[in-house]
Amino acid sequence: MSDSNTPPVKSEVFVSFRGKDIREGFLSHLNDTFERKQVKAFMNDRLVRGDEIWPSLVQAIEGSFISLIIFSQNYASSRWCLEELVTILKCKEKHGQIVIPVFYDVEPTHVRHQLGSYENAFAEHGRRYKTKVQTWRQALNKSADLSGIESSKFQNDAELLKGIVDLVLPRLDIHAVNFNGLVGIDTKIADVESLIRKSKEPKDIRLVGIWGMGGIGKTTLAEEVFNKLRVDDKYDGYSFLANERQQASKHGIIFLKERIFSELLGNAAKIATENSLPNDVVRRIGHMKVLIVLDDVNDSDHLEKLLGTLDNFGSGSRIIVTTRDEQVLKANKADDTYKLRELSSDKPLELFNLKAFSKSDCLREHDELSKRIVDYAKGVPLVLKVLAHHLQKKEKEVW
């Protein structure tokens, strides 16, 4: 969400849910987990009494980087949940907001096609809200096609919570360093964009790599470019795989392949082996112009295992890979690479002050100490963020 009209971020994650469906303790455990991970989440049970409820909800949705939609048996019976959903998808289209659906004791197909309890809910809505029904149906259909999480694939709520957090955190990890003032990033976005758009033939398929040391902001940069291209250019399918190195180790290649191609195709893709794709998948993607990001790739072989030969994709497709190791890009014959360097000149101090201080009158008092801390961090954004968070609101003696 990087365009100039994007609302200011107040929460990192907005959670849309139907309270009576969620098992006792699930939401509180989710909130506790987010708090431990230093993620600011908004749940609509937190509205201050006396607020005009709907305007407050819209403001909360627009001021979040991610919306987490917990679809449950009775989600569609609430007109407020459906209105939240419509607003969330508008933010996705307008600002590039990330939307993650969680199918909690409900099948994605029931959400997509309004079956079961969703069918019953819409029978009632058809009598009371005739002018709204079609918009709500379209919103459910679109959101059910997004890549998300199904509770049926987890043994219990504890594992489901971990799955949700594992999906959310990589999207926020480094983006949160810069989001309230994307220090020095505009020029970098333009640089990478120029490499992506650069082509002798408009129909070329291009692989562009972003590389540099850990914690330097590769994910943030790739995410900003990804969101911008989604708005500016027309693609038939999109996929952003965050933290490939860790996820491949944890879930395996086949799981990740299914996630990528399900996102691209808009429905579940079943893949049996690491080294090949089903014929129907190859046939469909051959006609699609796609935008794919593989983030934090550590193994040179994983690119081909995850995507197959790039010639499988339709003309004009773009693949972005971030990695700490330039050899990963060389081994895969990247068309262009972009080395992301440490923040230079006064940018590290600007970023540290942005994250460490809430009041400008504290700056002069801590000026010398701040400069020493920034020197210690050597311009690495993630280190600056961690130190700033640790020292925020602490007495000068702690510094």
- The identity of residue 124, as a single letter, is E
In terms of residue numbers, what domain contains 380?
Answer: 347-391
Residue with tokens 């130190």: 387
**H or E element that contains 370:** helix 367-377
- For residues 142 and 189, membership in a common domain is answered with no
Q: What is Dmax (Cα atoms) for the chain?
A: 67
Residue 306 in domain: yes
What does the block give as tokens for 231?
């708005």
Instruction: Supply the pLDDT for residue 180.
Output: 41
Q: List average pLDDT for each run of 10 residues in the chain, which is 399 residues long.
A: 45 86 76 78 59 76 90 93 94 85 94 95 91 95 89 86 84 51 68 86 85 82 84 82 89 91 84 90 93 94 94 94 95 94 56 53 55 58 59 55
- For residues 267 and 384, membership in a common domain is answered with no
Residue 224 in domain: yes
Instruction: Supply the pLDDT for residue 338.
Output: 96
- For residues 120 and 206, membership in a common domain is answered with no
Q: Which alpha helices (H) appear in 150-217, and where do they start and end?
A: 157-172, 175-178, 185-197
pTM of this prediction exceeds 0.75: no
Residue with tokens 């999906």: 167
Q: Which of these three, 172, 195, 225, is where a domain ends?
A: 172
Instruction: Give the distance from CA 354 to its chain's centroid.
Output: 23
Residue with tokens 């600011």: 40
Task: Give dist(CA 253, CA 339) in Å, integer.
Answer: 27
Give the end-to-end CA distance of the chain in Å, rounded to a whole number: 34
What does the block give as tokens for 358?
């809430």
Instruction: Supply the pLDDT for residue 334.
Output: 95
- For residues 133 and 84, membership in a common domain is answered with yes
- For residues 150 and 205, membership in a common domain is answered with no
- For residues 245 and 104, membership in a common domain is answered with no
Q: Which of these three, 149, 172, 195, is where a domain ends?
A: 172
Please pick, among 12, 62, 83, 84, the residue that the annotation labels catalytic. 84
Domain count of the fold of the chain: 3
- For residues 285 and 354, membership in a common domain is answered with no
Instruction: Supply the pLDDT for residue 243.
Output: 87
Beta bridge partners of 52: none
Q: Which of these three, 151, 172, 193, is where a domain ends?
A: 172
- For residues 134 and 156, membership in a common domain is answered with yes
**H or E element that contains 320:** strand 318-323
Based on the residue annotation, tell me whether 84 is a catalytic residue of this protein. Answer: yes
